[in-house]
């Protein structure tokens, strides 16, 4: 068989001419054998003979040639085509077998069809070699140039076949069109190998290269001659020299062996190749017929692919987002680690085949499925959809989801893939911010009442409750509820006032417990404590609003349609967390404002002058006290330099003070002089303190100035008194010291009569000293209010009688007659002191009376007082001395002291005694004719007696008590001015008739059958039926029982003053109405006060003097005392001192007002129960009335509280 | 110690008596007494004592007034005057010094030393 090349002669690049053969490429085995043999001749001597062991081996070999090898029968059916046909034409071998040559004719360029058909016809009919280049269309529509050739036909089993090659020559056609023809005139085998696009090597068993093709030369950069001198290790740096035997072994057994290695070009460049070695054997000689393909691109692509896979894995496994792929039925085909973890799966593959329904509740899974089906249907992605779902771990999470259609390379949608991100935290923060913003806005912009209501609405909405309240804790720790919701609750709210729940009244309701324990409490039981008329509370929750560990407010929600659960607690907790800081700040601000107003009013109404000035000494503020002290109004002074007030010689002080203030020092109370507006200098004590702004910087100074003129005067008087007293004490001491000194010196031993005289002087002066000291101490105690006046009801007659008895001896000695005219009157007095006053006056009168004279003691009763008179026939007192004799050591004549033995303190003491009893003392005198000393004392007049009793003293009849109990009652109440009589059960009815008691006390602690009968008789007897009866015993009966027993009140044993007195009070005191005792000597002011109090329903008693007040107070049971400090007879201090002696009056609220500012010591002396102090001059009548009303309210609430206690 | 004639002016009888006994018995001086400023002035002017012991706190005419009247009397002007007083406050002492008296002695006094104290003051005055 011959092969005739259609092409022109061509410079051969591979096998030399010797190796050319006319034999077909393959066909019968001998032909193949010949081919190989011929080829092997290229390297001369080693070409084997029997290379065709198996036809399959060749076919396999041929498959590795880039060109398509084909075999066709005479009917134009392809009987073989190498598998690489698909690479060139796009048609798989199967398709080729099925369609035969037809496939070519159909795909050929129309112009070329003829020559191909002719060529093949000629081949089969005439044996002409077929060699055609033509244009053909690939399966994908692309036009290429193919070169197809076949050299001859042959017959087998009666059918003719042709073998041929087909190669893609498009590139060559395009670039070397001109050369192609010429270079094709080659030996078909060599041609095939030469033109194979892969490098082809023929290697002997020593790895020496015996043949290379053109492609090999090109790829390695060597000439053919150079390569034929090399062996494989020269071009393959990885060639396994040592293991080469192994490679041979593998190929011997398997026929071929493909591996990847590297080739090195002549230039040293190394590139990856895939080498397929085929084992061929010619006789004993073995060869490798190897094809090497540059796989740089493939490697690169593979590396790229690997990298991309790596990236994909990295992304899938590390992203916290959930990534998933699903098929068209929304089954997972792949999920990432994060999603697997969220599904609680150990391995992402466990998700494959499952769907969302396996992990989510139906309502969530359903939505996901719908979304995906929509994507599959429309091809439109779903972007950033925020959705909430309940996850397999039970948590509700928000996710943001983006889902896309998943397409195959052909663009068909085969499923979806998506990325979801957990945005629960973001959602939470967003919601929180929204709620916070809303709450802050409500707090900022809404008026108070709306604010609380709006917050409550929010809170109730969060727990789906129709009823509830929102309250806060005020500074008194009570709960105030400015907002309520719900019809019954709403109507129970007093209009215009914020309901206040006093802490002591909280009880143990669940909201109170929630507040106390600082923990939410909820209940889903019907509340049994609901007040009548209130809507039923079927369920409720109380949530305390805590801030910094303190409960500052409260949410209560009620009557949700379903049970309250932890979710509701959480919802309210959220609300509370938002509300707490804002509410706290708001309450703080309100308190600060209140405190500021309070402080401002303290400053404004302080009696002290309080002046603010800047650091340059300019007056910035000026209170009422400053106006009063300096005479300038605020508008005259503010903006002026402070030096306006400073006398020129003291101007330096200001600069000095300011320097110290700037250093942050305080100027301690400093006595200095300032100038009033009228130019008068005044002594002041100033305290200057730095004023700081909010940053703590010193921005000015505050000056507190006090008028110390009075203080100075007092100091002077004190010094003078000390001087006088010390002089008075030294005077008798001088005589004593002198007399004793002379005696001790022994100088008088020779003159015993003189010595005796000195002893007498010492003795008499010692007596005088003792009297003096006693008097001084008495007077001091009395004037400082430290002397206890043991006051009781006294009879004036008895006191006068006692005093006269006392001085009778003195009078007789002086030869003076005493004349007494007693007058009966009841006095509330300390009898010893009154007798002392009488004695002082009587003994003075006796001393100054001439022998044979008379001293008269008389008494004249008036309306509510009695005036005593002590008259003598002495020398009289000059007019200018009539006042001063009542001062200390102010005898009319110093010689009086000597002659009369007085201390100079008798009259001052007498005056003090009288004043302490609310009385007055004075003297009338005519020189040479005598003097009359008068003093008046208040009596216990009928008109001050309460409850219509005739007597000033209430009479109490105590019946059936044992001696001890009776004594206890006596001790407790006689002191309070009650008269107590005892009687037995037998006597009671008779006694009750004769004694006319104001109240009857009955013993109830021991059982006694007579008692009920006794009470019945008392209640049926005309004289006694209106006399209230008080039972005294153990456990108190209730009101109804009392009534049934015919009792007005009950006193519980063991008896205390308080219980006994309160039972008496309940009997004597008129029901209702606050009882106010106004102690005021100014009748106009008293009338104003009385009117105001009466207008507010109070029962008012007006005492004109301190004495009267003291007398009335124990039986009036006042709820409030209104006390003027300056009173005739007994001043406010005296009144308080007296009143303090009564157990039941010790804690009565007291309002004191005074002309002058009281200091702390004075206030302490005036305090009873809750006490407030006011300065008269500062109050206008309107203000006074306002204060009085406030006081009344204050006393009323106090009264209520006391009752509760 | 020279024998002297001293006038004691004091409204307190006992003090006057004790002082008199003291000066007479301890120093052997001749003692004149007056129970008021007014009589003191008269005696001083008439009897010309060597020195006057003058009480300060006296009714009607107190010590300082009496002293000023003595100063105004040419016959009594040169007689040294010593206040014998229980007024011992610093303010009093200052006032007395300004008056220009010869000296001030304190009550109570030691009767055994009174004469010596008077002599000492007079020496200073001389």
At A1150-1194, the pLDDT tens digits run 888 777 778 888 888 888 877 778 777 666 666 666 676 666 666
Kindly report the pTM of this predicted structure.
Answer: 0.38
A198's CB contacts (< 8 A; 6+ apart) are: A64, A65, A66, A215, A291, A292, A293
A734:B13 CB<8 A: no
CA-closest candidate to residue A132, choices A175, A101, A93, A97: A101
Between A75 and B63, the more confident residue is B63
Residue B82 distance to chain A (closest CA, Å)? 17
Sort out which chain B residues have CB atoms less than 8 A from A764's CB and list them. 14
The token pair that represents A195 in the structure block: 């033109």
Selecting from B59, B107, B111 the residue whose C-beta is nearest the C-beta of A730 gives: B107
pLDDT at A103 over 90: no
Contact A260, A273 (CB under 8 A): yes
By Cβ distance, the residue of A726, A745, A764 closest to B112 is: A745
Q: What average pLDDT does the structure give for chain A? A: 79
- Report the C-alpha gap between B93 and B82 in whole angstroms: 12
From the DSSP assignment, how many helices (H) and strands (E) are in chain B?
Answer: 5, 5
Q: Is residue A267 packed enough to be buried (19+ CB in 10 Å), middle (13-18) or exposed (0-12)?
A: exposed
DSSP-derived secondary structure for A65-112: SSSEEEEEETTS-EEEE-TTHHHHHS--HHHHHHHTTHHHHHHB-HHH
Give the pLDDT confidence score for residue B53 in this predicted structure. Answer: 94
Q: A28-37, A572-581, A1055-1064, A1130-1139 — which is least confidently predicted?
A: A28-37
Residue A464 exposed, middle or buried by CB count within 10 Å (0-12, 13-18, 19+): middle
Q: Which residues of A touch B22 (CB under 8 A)?
A: 738, 741-742
Is the complex ipTM higher than 0.85? Answer: yes
Cβ atoms of A313 and A306 within 8 Å: the answer is no
Nearest-10 crossing angle of helices A1057-1068, A963-974: 70
How many Cα atoms sit within 13 Å of A927 on the Cβ side? 6
B49–chain A nearest CA distance, Å: 23
pLDDT for residue A974: 63
Are A202 and A287 in contact, with CB atoms under 8 Å apart? yes
Q: Quick one: how many helices (H) and strands (E) in chain A? A: 40, 43
DSSP-based three-state secondary structure for A194: helix
H or E element, residue A1121 = strand A1120-1124
Separation of alpha carbons A225 and A875, rounded Å: 176
Q: Determine the pLDDT at residue A26.
A: 40
In whole angstroms, give the CA distance from residue A91 to residue A226: 40
**DSSP assignment letter at A16:** -
Is residue A184 scored above 70 in pLDDT? no
The whole-number pLDDT of residue A1008 equals 67
| Residue whose entry in the numeric block shows the structure tokens 């429309």 | A378
Structure tokens that stand for A1037 in this block? 């009966």
User: Does the pLDDT at position A60 exceed 70?
Assistant: no
Neighbouring C-beta atoms of residue A284, cutoff 10 Å: 7
The model's confidence at residue A562, banded by pLDDT at 50, 70 and 90, is confident
Give the per-residue pLDDT at A733.
92
Place of tokens 């001091």: A780
> Residues A410-415: what's their mean pLDDT?
87
* Contact between A747 and B109 using a beta-carbon 8 Å cutoff: no
- A49, pLDDT greater than 70: no
Q: Which two tokens stand for residue A954?
A: 């209430």
For residue A175, pLDDT over 80 is answered with no
% of chain B exceeding 90 in pLDDT = 60
pLDDT of residue A290: 83
Q: Rg of the Cα trace of chain A?
A: 65
- CA dist A404 and A412 (Å) reads 13
DSSP assignment string, A1037-1054: P-HHHHHHHT-SEEEESS
Alpha-carbon torsion angle A68, A69, A73, A76, nearest 10? 10
pLDDT given at position A85: 82
Cα–Cα distance between A703 and A690 in angstroms, integer? 9
The model's confidence at residue B52, banded by pLDDT at 50, 70 and 90, is very high
d(CA A6, CA A17): 17
pLDDT band (50, 70, 90) for residue A1078: confident
The residue among A502 and A30 whose pLDDT is bigger is A502
Q: Taking a contact as any Cβ pair under 8 Å apart, which residues of chain B between 18 and 37 contact chain A?
A: 18-19, 21-22, 25-26, 35
Query: Residue A892: its pLDDT value, please?
Result: 58
Q: Can you read off the two tokens belonging to residue A1115?
A: 């039986």
Question: How does A423-453 read in b/e, with b if 16+ C-beta sit within 10 Å?
Answer: beeebeeeeeeebbeebeebbeeeeeeebbb
B124–chain A nearest CA distance, Å: 25
Flag if B109 and A730 touch (Cβ within 8 Å). no
**How many Cα atoms sit within 13 Å of A496 on the Cβ side?**
0
User: How far is the alpha carbon of A716 from chain B, nearest alpha carbon, in Å?
Assistant: 12
Distance from CA of A762 to the nearest CA of B (A): 9
Mind telling me how many Å the CA of B78 is from chain A's nearest CA? 28
- Angstrom distances, CA of residue B118 to CA of A65, A733, B41, B81: 161, 20, 20, 10
- From residue A267, alpha-carbon distances to A112, A205, A220, A226, A263 in Å are 44, 26, 8, 13, 11
pLDDT range class, residue B50, cuts 50, 70, 90: very high
Dist CA A846 CA A804 (whole Å): 11
CA dist A155 to A30, A56, A118, A166, Å?
A: 14, 20, 20, 21
Q: What angle do CA A132, A134, A137 make, to 5 degrees?
A: 140
Mean pLDDT across A1055-1059: 70
pLDDT of residue A740: 93
Phi-psi region of B100 (alpha: psi -120 to 50; beta: other; left: phi over 0): left
What is the interface size between A and B, counted as CB pairs within 8 Å? 89
Q: Can you give the pLDDT at residue A738?
A: 92
List chain B residues with CB under 8 Å of A747: 25-26, 112
Average pLDDT in the A419-432 region? 83
pLDDT top residue among A267 and A5? A267
Please state whether A416 falls in left (phi above 0), alpha (psi between -120 and 50) or beta: beta
> E strands of B13-122, at which residues?
30-34, 51-54, 81-85, 103-106
Given an 8 Å threshold on Cβ–Cβ distance, is A739 in contact with B14? Answer: yes
Contact (CB<8Å) B15/A741? no
B-contacting residues in A 710-749 (Cβ below 8 Å) = 719, 722-723, 726-727, 730-739, 741-742, 745, 747-748
Q: Does B95 touch chain A (CB under 8 A)?
A: no
Higher pLDDT pick, A559 / A26: A559
* Among candidates B35, B86, B92 on the partner chain, residue whose Cβ is nearest the Cβ of A734: B86
Using DSSP's 3-state secondary structure scheme, residue B12 falls into coil
Across A1075-1117, where does the E strand assignment appear? 1075-1079, 1099-1103
Contacts of B25 in chain A (CB under 8 A): 742, 747-748
The upper half-sphere exposure of residue A975, i.e. CA atoms within 13 Å in the direction of its Cβ, equals 17
CA nearest to A745 within chain B: B112
Q: What is the pLDDT of residues A286-327, one digit of tens each?
A: 778 888 888 888 888 878 888 888 887 887 778 888 888 999
A1081 pLDDT exceeds 90? Answer: no
Residue A775 has pLDDT above 50, yes or no: yes
Tokens 């929630």: give the residue: A514
Give burial (CB, 10 Å; 0-12/13-18/19+) of A890.
middle
For residue A163, is pLDDT > 70?
Answer: yes
- Residue A230 in 3-state DSSP? coil
Cβ contact (<8 Å) for A742 and B12? no
Query: Which residues from chain B sit within 8 angstroms of residue A754, using beta carbons?
Result: 21
Q: How sure is the predictor about A842, in pLDDT bands with cuts at 50, 70 and 90?
A: very high
Strands in A1099-1103's sheet, in edge-to-edge order, are A1099-1103, A1075-1079, A1120-1124, A1150-1154, A1171-1175
The pLDDT value recorded for residue A63 is 59
Do A745 and B111 make contact, defined as CB atoms within 8 angstroms? yes
- List of chain B residues whose C-beta atoms are within 8 Å of the C-beta of residue A741: 22, 110-112
Distance from the Cα of B57 to chain A's closest Cα (Å) equals: 9
B109 min Cα distance to partner chain A (Å): 6
Instruction: Decide if B87 contacts B101 (C-beta within 8 A).
Output: no
* Model pLDDT, residue A532: 64
Query: What confidence tier does A871 reach under pLDDT thresholds 50, 70, 90?
Result: very high
Is residue B100 very low, low, confident or very high in pLDDT (cuts 50, 70, 90)?
Answer: confident
Nearest residue to A772 (alpha-carbon basis) of A912, A609, A901, A965: A901
Q: Assess contact for A1032 and A1041: CB atoms under 8 A.
A: no
User: Tokens in use for A158?
Assistant: 């009666």
3-state secondary structure of A1180: coil
**Reported confidence tier of residue A756, pLDDT bands at 50, 70, 90:** very high
Q: Report the distance separating Cα A856 and Cα A988, nearest Å.
A: 47
pLDDT cut 70: percent of chain A above it: 83
**pLDDT tops 60 at residue B84:** yes
Q: B86 — contact with chain A (CB < 8 Å)?
A: yes
Alpha carbons A865 and A378: distance in angstroms, whole number: 115
Digit-coded pLDDT (tens) for A192-217: 666 667 888 888 877 888 888 888 88
CB pair distance less than 8 Å for A734 and B108: yes
More confident residue, A47 or B60: B60
Angle at A1115 between CA A1112 and CA A1121, to 5 degrees: 60
* Mean pLDDT of the region A211-231: 85
CA distance from start to end of chain A: 139
Residues across chain B: 126
Please check whether residue B17 touches A, CB under 8 A: yes
In this structure, how many other beta carbons lie within 10 angstroms of the beta carbon of residue A794? 19
Chain B positions in Cβ-Cβ contact with residue A719 (cut-off 8 Å)? 89, 91
Does residue A611 register a pLDDT over 70?
yes
* Pairing outcome for strands A698-707 and A500-501: unpaired
């Amino acid at each position: 068989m011959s092969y005739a090349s259609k092409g022109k002669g061509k410079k051969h690049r591979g096998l030399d001419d010797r190796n050319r053969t006319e034999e077909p490429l393959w066909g019968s085995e001998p032909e193949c054998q010949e081919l190989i043999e011929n080829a092997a001749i290229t390297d001369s001597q080693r070409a084997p003979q029997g290379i065709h062991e198996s036809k399959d081996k060749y076919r396999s070999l041929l498959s590795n040639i880039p060109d398509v090898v084909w075999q066709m029968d005479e009917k134009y059916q392809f009987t073989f085509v190498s598998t690489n046909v698909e690479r060139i034409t796009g048609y798989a071998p199967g398709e080729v077998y099925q369609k035969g040559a037809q496939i070519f004719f159909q795909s050929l360029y129309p112009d070329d069809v003829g020559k191909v058909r002719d060529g093949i016809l000629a081949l089969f009919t005439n044996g002409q070699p077929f060699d055609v280049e033509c244009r053909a269309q690939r399966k994908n529509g692309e036009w290429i140039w193919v070169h197809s050739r076949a050299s001859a036909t042959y017959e087998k089993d009666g059918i003719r076949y042709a073998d041929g090659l087909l190669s893609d020559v498009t590139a060559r056609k395009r670039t070397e069109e001109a050369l192609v023809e010429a270079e094709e005139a080659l030996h078909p085998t060599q041609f095939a190998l030469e033109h194979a696009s892969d490098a082809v090597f023929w290697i002997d068993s020593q790895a020496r290269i015996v043949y290379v093709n053109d492609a090999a030369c090109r790829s390695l950069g060597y000439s053919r001659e150079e390569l034929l001198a090399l062996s494989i290790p020269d071009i393959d740096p990885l060639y396994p020299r040592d293991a080469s035997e192994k490679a041979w072994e593998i190929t011997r057994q398997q026929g071929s062996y493909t591996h990847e290695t590297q080739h090195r070009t002549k230039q040293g460049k190394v590139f990856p190749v895939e080498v397929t070695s085929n084992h061929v054997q010619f006789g004993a000689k073995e060869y490798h017929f190897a094809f090497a393909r540059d796989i740089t691109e493939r490697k690169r692509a593979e590396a790229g692919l690997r990298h991309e896979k790596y990236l994909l894995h990295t992304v899938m496994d590390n992203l916290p987002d959930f990534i998933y792929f699903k098929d068209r039925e929304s089954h997972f085909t792949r999920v990432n680690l994060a999603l697997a973890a969220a599904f609680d799966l150990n391995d992402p593959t466990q998700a494959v085949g499952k769907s969302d329904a396996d992990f989510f509740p139906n309502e969530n899974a359903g939505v996901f499925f719908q979304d995906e089906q929509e994507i599959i249907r429309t091809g439109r992605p779903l972007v950033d959809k925020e959705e909430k779902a309940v996850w397999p771990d039970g948590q509700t999470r928000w996710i943001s989801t983006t889902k896309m259609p998943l397409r195959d390379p052909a663009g068909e949608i085969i499923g979806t893939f998506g990325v979801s991100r957990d945005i629960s935290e973001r959602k939470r923060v967003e919601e929180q911010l929204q709620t916070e913003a809303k709450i802050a806005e409500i707090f900022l912009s809404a008026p108070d009442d709306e604010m609380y209501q709006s917050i409550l609405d929010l809170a109730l909405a969060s727990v789906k409750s129709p009823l509830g309240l929102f309250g806060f804790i005020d500074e008194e720790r009570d709960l105030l509820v400015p907002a309520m919701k719900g019809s019954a609750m709403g109507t129970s709210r007093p209009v215009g006032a914020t309901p206040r729940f006093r802490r002591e009244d909280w009880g143990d309701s669940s909201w109170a417990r929630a507040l106390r324990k600082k923990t939410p409490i909820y209940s889903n039981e019907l509340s049994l404590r609901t007040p009548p008329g209130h809507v039923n509370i079927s369920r409720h929750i109380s949530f305390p609003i805590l801030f910094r560990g303190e409960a500052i407010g409260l949410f209560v929600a009620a009557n949700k349609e379903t049970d309250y659960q932890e979710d509701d607690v959480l919802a309210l907790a959220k609300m509370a967390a938002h509300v707490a800081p804002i509410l706290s700040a708001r309450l703080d601000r309100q308190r600060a404002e209140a405190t500021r107003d309070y402080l401002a009013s303290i400053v404004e109404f302080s009696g002290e002058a309080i002046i603010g000035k800047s650091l340059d000494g300019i007056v910035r503020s000026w209170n009422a006290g400053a106006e009063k002290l300096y005479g300038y109004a605020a508008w005259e002074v503010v903006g002026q330099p402070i030096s306006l007030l400073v006398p020129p010689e003291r101007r330096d002080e200001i600069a000095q003070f300011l320097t110290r203030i700037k250093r942050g020092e305080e100027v301690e109370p400093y006595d200095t002089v300032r100038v009033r507006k009228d130019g008068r200098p005044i002594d002041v004590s100033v305290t200057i303190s730095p004023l700081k702004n909010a940053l703590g910087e010193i921005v000015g100074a505050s000056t507190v100035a006090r008028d110390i003129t009075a203080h100075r005067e007092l100091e002077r008087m004190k010094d003078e008194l000390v001087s006088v007293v010390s002089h008075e004490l030294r005077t008798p001491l001088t005589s004593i010291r002198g007399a004793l000194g002379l005696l001790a010196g022994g100088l008088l031993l020779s003159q015993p009569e003189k010595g005796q005289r000195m002893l007498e002087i010492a003795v008499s002066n010692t007596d005088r000293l003792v009297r003096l000291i006693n008097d001084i101490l008495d007077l001091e105690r009395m004037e400082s209010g430290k002397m206890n006046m043991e006051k009781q009801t006294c009879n004036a007659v008895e006191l006068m009688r006692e005093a006269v008895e006392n001085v009778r001896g003195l009078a007789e000695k002086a030869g003076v007659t005493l004349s007494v005219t007693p007058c009966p009157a009841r006095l509330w007095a300390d009898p010893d002191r009154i007798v002392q006053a009488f004695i002082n006056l009587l003994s003075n009168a006796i001393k100054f009376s001439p022998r044979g004279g008379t001293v008269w003691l008389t008494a004249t009763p008036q309306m509510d007082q009695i005036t005593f008179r002590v008259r003598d026939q002495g020398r009289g007192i000059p007019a200018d001395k009539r006042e001063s004799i009542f001062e200390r050591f102010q005898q009319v004549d110093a010689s009086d002291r000597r002659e009369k033995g007085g201390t100079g303190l008798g009259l001052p003491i007498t005056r003090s005694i009288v004043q302490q009893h609310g009385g007055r003392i004075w003297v009338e005198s005519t020189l040479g004719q005598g003097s009359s000393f008068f003093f008046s004392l208040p009596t216990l007049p009928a008109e001050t007696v309460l409850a219509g009793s005739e007597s000033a003293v209430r009479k109490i009849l105590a019946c059936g008590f044992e001696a001890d109990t009776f004594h206890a009652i006596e001790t407790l109440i006689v002191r309070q001015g009650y008269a107590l009589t005892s009687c037995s059960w037998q006597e009671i009815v008779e006694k009750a008739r004769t004694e006319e008691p104001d109240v009857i006390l009955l013993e109830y602690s021991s059982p006694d059958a007579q008692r009920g009968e006794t009470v019945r008789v008392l209640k049926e007897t005309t004289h006694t039926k209106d006399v209230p009866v008080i039972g005294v015993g153990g456990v108190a009966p209730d009101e109804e029982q009392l009534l049934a027993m015919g009792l007005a009140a009950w006193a519980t044993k063991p008896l205390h003053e308080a219980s006994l007195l309160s039972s008496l009070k309940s009997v004597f005191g008129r029901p209702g109405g606050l009882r106010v005792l106004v102690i005021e000597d100014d009748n106009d002011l008293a009338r104003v006060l009385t009117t105001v109090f009466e207008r507010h329903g109070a029962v008012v008693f007006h005492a004109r003097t301190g004495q009267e007040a003291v007398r009335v107070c124990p039986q009036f049971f006042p709820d409030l005392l209104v006390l003027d400090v300056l009173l005739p007879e007994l001043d406010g201090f005296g009144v308080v001192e007296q009143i303090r002696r009564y157990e039941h009056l010790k804690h009565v609220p007291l309002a004191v007002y005074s002309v002058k500012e009281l200091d702390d010591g004075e206030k302490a002396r005036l305090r009873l129960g809750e006490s407030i102090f006011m300065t008269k001059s500062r109050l206008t009548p309107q203000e006074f009335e306002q204060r009085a009303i406030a006081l009344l309210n204050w006393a009323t609430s106090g009264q209520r509280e006391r009752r509760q206690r | 110690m020279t024998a002297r004639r001293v006038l004691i002016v004091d409204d307190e009888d006992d003090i006057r008596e004790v002082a008199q006994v003291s000066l007479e018995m301890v120093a052997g001086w001749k003692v004149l007494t007056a129970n008021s400023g007014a009589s003191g002035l008269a005696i001083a002017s008439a009897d010309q004592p060597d020195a006057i012991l003058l009480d300060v706190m006296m009714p009607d005419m107190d010590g300082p007034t009496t002293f000023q009247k003595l100063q105004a009397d040419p016959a009594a002007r040169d007689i040294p005057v010593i206040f014998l007083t229980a007024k011992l406050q610093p303010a009093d002492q200052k006032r007395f010094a300004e008056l220009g008296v010869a000296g001030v002695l304190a009550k109570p006094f030691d009767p055994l030393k009174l004469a010596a104290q008077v002599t000492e003051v007079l020496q200073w005055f001389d």
